Structure 1
């Protein structure tokens, strides 16, 4: 990776696997996109990135990086503002290429020599006087005792003062050589070792923000006379009266959804709230595809209308409303809208008069209908209710957001009750929502288990618990009122399902 691209470049890996490419790209300052079809591979990669620890490398565009660069090169660095731009690279170790030409052209060596000669020459003269010798610089022995015991040292006596002069001279001599060697290395041509940036061991780096996105798989349609009708049916909700051939994809998809719905049921946060259907039969409606029956807590049989969204597309608010009117006219007790994705405007649609509306998000595994074993044990249909959110006034005209929980449909009573925050894994706030894109400005983490303990174990280090507790909260920090007049709150459960709710402020 270091050999073929540069910091800040984008790395694409179409076969994610366990996420090695993404992990290495994160370590070496590259942006990355990785793709895979099995959700297991993506889950492994996500867990690997979230729990990884990386060395903190010194950025060239930082104060610490410039100080290290000046220390290594001996060149004064500019005192201009720094921005921490990773595209300017790290501060790397160097491999010098020393040549006779670089030594001969290095004027600093003469300066160093003259500086140390002013120190070493007086010491040499005093040492010659103390030992009654006439040593030149290159003749001063390294080990004074060995010289005294040899034939050249016979007749000479070294007292403590002479030994100190000898030690001081050699200390200065070694320091002069080290300074000259450093000057030669600085002036020599160097090769940057891009795989060995300088590391700040006082800091621990973790992975930057990233998202996990899912896309519905494409399909190939053969050129047949009935393909136009199939395309029109795929653009909207699947209807029970769609006049399509037996081989049409939409009809097969609808039958497959109903078969899995019959065996798996509709799951919610609590296992006791799972809706198990005793029977599912086709229904001759324009939007409602089937009639399902289930028992409440008193063993009274109730009827549920089943709306199936498109195999490749989003179920809209208007389609759910039309199906709800049809279900209300037919005296159904509840409408279960099944889809892979729901329109953002359908988030707060939970009831039409007395009719409760459940939006059951279908698991992408249903796209693999041919290979999927219908065991009834998977969370193929999951309902994630509307979040119970309160806007609280704060000091200085600011506001705060408090999440009380998520609304849950109780099949035993047919009512929607508010549950606590244990079913919420994380929730985010866009404090100035523009209705075009959701920007995470506040992030908070909840759940029945203590995420602080899990994070501490994953990173194998101590974390500022006081700072972390500001994130492990059901109440946001105060923030100014939005200039757009709107805020958005996104809530995510432990299954990875999310719901967005917009508030006017």
Structure 2
């Protein structure tokens, strides 16, 4: 009781004592199951999508049901609010949508967003903050920066009179400050000829002296008296702050999972993510024979429902050839685009069509067309088999069209005198039946092999220099090396494991510093020398790989990419 009286937690009330609890002792209110603060509309955030969900609603659901590092799935992406919130709060995420518009909006929203940098519990800075907040000394253990250990969160205290009475630290603080305050109180009583107890000393000395006569007031309001009074109150306030902090530390508390501590000196942007395409499912039609019926009966294939006479079924190969006739094959330089005079079916095992085009010297060339799988990857062995077939039939060039190519097929550009072009097909072709207007620009794009040189660096390290990309010259039928103007960005995996490509170095070569807007959007202090190293055709030095391999990925201005692996 003495302790509670000392710190002002008791007051008189009729014939007994009453306790004093402050608003800050329990400053939170439990949420019920009606969230009136998550409504959308004019008082919500700006809308970028017609059915955009308010951020606070998604945030509350994610914080209630997941921990940092957990995986969040949103099968209806929309404007990407779930991915945006999950990215902010350190959750992994997968989001899905049938609309390319929605995915484009979400991708832009994620890439242009800036997020607060929350202190990780498994970090040196986070552990220092935890010690400061809790007042407890933590064991000096190894930290790894693992986000799954969570963040350092603010606390909501639950102060009770019992927790105050049992807090022995308050006695220590009280005794320390008594040695400072008591001498000041005695001297103040001496000069004012008063008998003030601690609780009697007025906060405003001038107002207390208003009732005195002029001579007494002048005698009491000397500089010495004012300083004694100010020093006593300064110590009194400091003592109360220290006691309040001790009470808060010793009280029971709850973590505020939506209020982690933030490092204001850092700016965080979205981590690496990919946008993948899964094309609309195409049902395989069963053949009208015994084998087809048996396969259909066993569930191996599914018969397509009957199609109206005015809606004939479109064959994938015919659809590709139709677009190839109209669009041609594009390369980085417009003059290198191949426009076909004719494309006719070819009765080969691998070659689907024979195409004719005219080179710069008005000589007609014959091209064999290989069409890759509708759902899958075109392999090196398939390209090689088609190239042998094309050589036997005296074709001048093989054009392999596919949505994706096997990584081992990257460096396959020629088989003897036969040039091999790998034309990557635009994913829009997958949805040609569903889109009203599939533009003919960039439906088939050839992106050649990168011309890369590995250089020695001081200290046994190495550097990578990219000279350009090899380009097929339709006028001569040869492969020529182009400069770096055709490269938008290039990346290095400095320790490639032949399974996954990790971007460990990233460089940009677009004209007119295309990432100037990113620097502006970050609104942060950027080291110009460090930024300049990103805008280069030569990498920073790095250690030789433990796997003995590095991989270089080059992306052109059409968004097409090619990967090449080097032994080091």
What is the TM-score of this pair, normalised by structure 2?
A: 0.79
* 1:64-96: CA deviation from partner (whole Å, max 9, x where unpaired): 222222222222233323222222222222222
Stretches of structure 1 that go unaligned for 5 or more consecutive residues are 233-245
What is residue 425 of structure 1 aligned with on the other side?
A: 488
Question: What SS does structure 1 have at the residue aligned with 2:185?
Answer: helix
- What is the deviation of 1:227? 10
- What is the deviation of 1:229? 7.4
Question: What SS does structure 1 have at the residue aligned with 2:365?
Answer: strand
Say which of 436, 440, 443 aligns to 1:380.
443
- What is the deviation of 1:7? 1.0
In structure 2, relative to structure 1, the CA distance for the partners of 1:109 and 1:179 (3 Å cut) is: same
Query: Is the contact between residue 387 and residue 420 of structure 2 (CA under 8 Å) also seen in structure 1?
Result: yes
Say which of 236, 253, 262 aligns to 1:173.
236
Where in structure 2 are the equivalents of 1:42-61 lying within 5 Å? 42-61=103-122
- What is the deviation of 1:452? 4.2
What is residue 508 of structure 2 aligned with on the other side?
A: 445
* 1:444-478: CA deviation from partner (whole Å, max 9, x where unpaired): 22223424423313323332221122232222333
Question: What SS does structure 1 have at the residue aligned with 2:558?
Answer: coil
What is the TM-score of this pair, normalised by structure 1?
A: 0.89
Q: Distance in 2 between matches of 1:462 and 1:93?
A: 28
Say which of 366, 372, 383 aligns to 1:303.
366
What is residue 164 of structure 1 aligned with on the other side?
A: 227
In structure 2, relative to structure 1, the CA distance for the partners of 1:101 and 1:452 (3 Å cut) is: same
Stretches of structure 2 that go unaligned for 5 or more consecutive residues are 1-61, 296-308
Where in structure 2 are the equivalents of 1:126-145 lying within 5 Å? 126-145=187-206
Q: Distance in 2 between matches of 1:327 and 1:131?
A: 112
Q: Distance in 2 between matches of 1:227 and 1:412?
A: 51
Q: Does residue 125 of structure 1 match 2:186?
A: yes
Range moving further from structure 2, 2-11 or 113-122:
113-122
Q: Distance in 2 between matches of 1:54 and 1:203?
A: 10
Question: What SS does structure 1 have at the residue aligned with 2:117?
Answer: strand
Q: Distance in 1 between matches of 2:440 and 2:107?
A: 24
Q: Distance in 2 between matches of 1:190 and 1:3?
A: 18
- What is the deviation of 1:480? 4.2
Range moving further from structure 2, 308-317 or 474-483:
474-483
Where in structure 2 are the equivalents of 1:4-15 lying within 5 Å? 4-15=65-76
Q: Does residue 350 of structure 1 match 2:400?
A: no
In structure 2, relative to structure 1, the CA distance for the partners of 1:20 and 1:223 (3 Å cut) is: same
Range moving further from structure 2, 216-225 or 358-367:
216-225
Q: Distance in 2 between matches of 1:226 and 1:464?
A: 70
Q: Distance in 2 between matches of 1:225 and 1:164?
A: 106
In structure 2, relative to structure 1, the CA distance for the partners of 1:18 and 1:413 (3 Å cut) is: farther
What is residue 313 of structure 1 aligned with on the other side?
A: 376
What is residue 35 of structure 1 aligned with on the other side?
A: 96
Q: Distance in 2 between matches of 1:98 and 1:227?
A: 81
- What is the deviation of 1:250? 9.9
Say which of 253, 269, 274 aligns to 1:211.
274
Where in structure 2 are the equivalents of 1:444-463 lying within 5 Å? 444-463=507-526
Question: What SS does structure 2 have at the residue aligned with 1:417?
Answer: strand
What is residue 303 of structure 2 aligned with on the other side?
A: none
- What is the deviation of 1:40? 3.7
- What is the deviation of 1:376? 4.6
Range moving further from structure 2, 491-500 or 215-224:
215-224
What is residue 389 of structure 1 aligned with on the other side?
A: 452
* 1:12-56: CA deviation from partner (whole Å, max 9, x where unpaired): 122222322222111111111222333443333333323321111
Q: Does residue 96 of structure 1 match 2:157?
A: yes
- What is the deviation of 1:155? 5.6
Query: Is the contact between residue 267 and residue 522 of structure 2 (CA under 8 Å) also seen in structure 1?
Result: no
What is residue 174 of structure 2 aligned with on the other side?
A: 113
Question: What SS does structure 2 have at the residue aligned with 1:22?
Answer: helix
In structure 2, relative to structure 1, the CA distance for the partners of 1:226 and 1:427 (3 Å cut) is: farther
In structure 2, relative to structure 1, the CA distance for the partners of 1:408 and 1:40 (3 Å cut) is: farther
Question: What SS does structure 2 have at the residue aligned with 1:326?
Answer: helix
